[in-house]
Structure 1
Amino acid sequence: MPTQNQIKNLSAKLKEYRKRYMKKQYNDLDESATRLMVNSLLTDVFGYIELDEIKTEYRIRGEYADYVIQLARKKHFVVEVKSIQLDLSDKHLRQSVNYAANEGIDWIILTNGKQIELYKVLFEKPINSRKIFDFDISNKDDFKKMSEFLVYLTKKSVEKNELSNFWTRFEALEPIQLSKNLYDTHVIKFLKKVLKKKTDLSFSEEDILDSIYKIITTKIESNKPKTPTNTLGKKKEKQNTSDNTEYAVREIAPN
């Protein structure tokens, strides 16, 4: 995970970039002028070295990607730039996905100098992509939180494999992935125990599986709790640590 210092440093650089470029006089820039802004974003903000690590007009099967970012001979990003006047669209993304797929590049940054969108290329059949996040640097609400995410696009994070780890966490927590774990035998046993405790009745595995399926496939109005619930009323027991000076709390499930 990126450190707080990394996030703080990036935030300061983004503020400088915002102060310099998010002005009314730049709202009508064409694509070539917008690229000058993006040059600053990639070098001054994200920390990549021009020419050595940022390849411009990179040729891929007879077409040209605006930028490809390469570190230690590995290509990490296709960066597609559109005029700041234009809203980013699926059409722009499709073009970038083709570039990335043909070159075996995992990530796409789509930007108009103001909006920044990150996509993961999914090398499946057919080739697909997944939006990870998008931010508008000119938007005050976006600006407050974007550093915690854009930090993964920086050279330091890529070198430390933090972007790859970010994707692993992101994918693991995707509802479609996480929901598969709800059918696990341990979850079924736990729910049978909860229902037995609440109703004093026994429920079959098929009963539980049917209800879990309905939970996954049916929209249910519900509020997210601030902390996990203690459904089974587990007890807490103090346990000495190895140095006998502190205590750890261990949850003990009832027999």
Structure 2
Amino acid sequence: MRGTFCDLAIKIDNQLQTLIEVKAIGLELKDQHVKQAIDYAANQGVDWVLLTNGITWRVYHLVFAKPIDQELVLEIDFCGLSPRLESDIELLYLWCKEGWQRSMLGEYHIQKQALSRFFVGAMLQTDAVIDVVRRELRRVSPDVRIDSDQIRDVLIKEVIKREVMEGEKADEARKKIMKAANKALRATPAKPAKGKSAAEDQPTSD
């Protein structure tokens, strides 16, 4: 992209892995500070961009949509780290050389996505979850007639925030959940018809 550049770039085995945008120490970091590096990374096909003022480090993952967007995956305050805390060491391992080679940051991002409000919100609207809620509600109130549509309506209108159900991230979460459900359905072997033995399925010889 003409006129666009970044401060630093990291290569491993001659492959560009991430770009780093560096700001002055003490400057409060904002998402807008990383825009230039994001634009350059998108042009280079790089998924990860780091923004730092030397003390605080932010790790962004590019979202290749229209327009290009970024998602804050991780933020580390080096002044707050403790070498005695295993959790702090694990965070640093995510973006050390060995961590990059083992795609640890990507795995961390996937795990964080699975626990995001968009994925949880989309999961709450699936038939499987609603069936469980319906069963438990009927156990609590056996004399009350409750159907799945009523539960879904309450979830959408009164329980789940609208911001969790709308937008590209919400759509992406629904697509991934639906894709996983369809994959699981295809992997489930078909059950033989009730009362039909395996022998009946065998072809007869003349």
TM-score by length of 1: 0.57
Tell me what 1:235 maps to: none
Post-superposition offset of 1:120: 0.7
Match of residue 170, structure 1, among 98, 112, 117:
112
Post-superposition offset of 1:140: 6.0
Unaligned runs of at least 5 residues, structure 1? 1-59, 219-255
The SS at the match of 2:5 is: strand
Relative distance call for 1:85 and 1:197 in structure 2 (3 A) is closer
CA distance in 1, matches of 2:136, 2:146: 10
Q: Does 1:195 align with 2:137?
A: yes
Post-superposition offset of 1:62: 4.1
The SS at the match of 1:120 is: strand
The residue type equivalent to 1:175 in the other structure is R
Tell me what 1:29 maps to: none
CA distance in 2, matches of 1:205, 1:160: 43
- Bigger share in helix: 2
Post-superposition offset of 1:184: 1.5
The SS at the match of 1:70 is: strand
Relative distance call for 1:191 and 1:136 in structure 2 (3 A) is same
CA distance in 2, matches of 1:133, 1:208: 35
The SS at the match of 2:79 is: coil
Alignment of 1:113-192 (within 5 A): 113-139=54-80, 145-192=87-134
Post-superposition offset of 1:85: 3.6
CA distance in 2, matches of 1:174, 1:63: 32
Q: Does 1:215 align with 2:156?
A: no
Match of residue 94, structure 1, among 23, 28, 35:
35
The SS at the match of 2:20 is: strand
Bigger relative CO (Cα 8 Å, ≥ 6 apart)? 1
Deviations 1:163-205 (CA, angstroms, capped at 9, x unpaired): 1111111112211122111121111111111011101122011
Relative distance call for 1:189 and 1:73 in structure 2 (3 A) is same
Aligned pairs, number: 159
Unaligned runs of at least 5 residues, structure 2? 163-206
Post-superposition offset of 1:130: 0.8
The SS at the match of 1:138 is: helix
Contact 2:9/2:19 (<8 A) preserved: yes
- Bigger share in strand: 1
Contact 2:25/2:54 (<8 A) preserved: yes
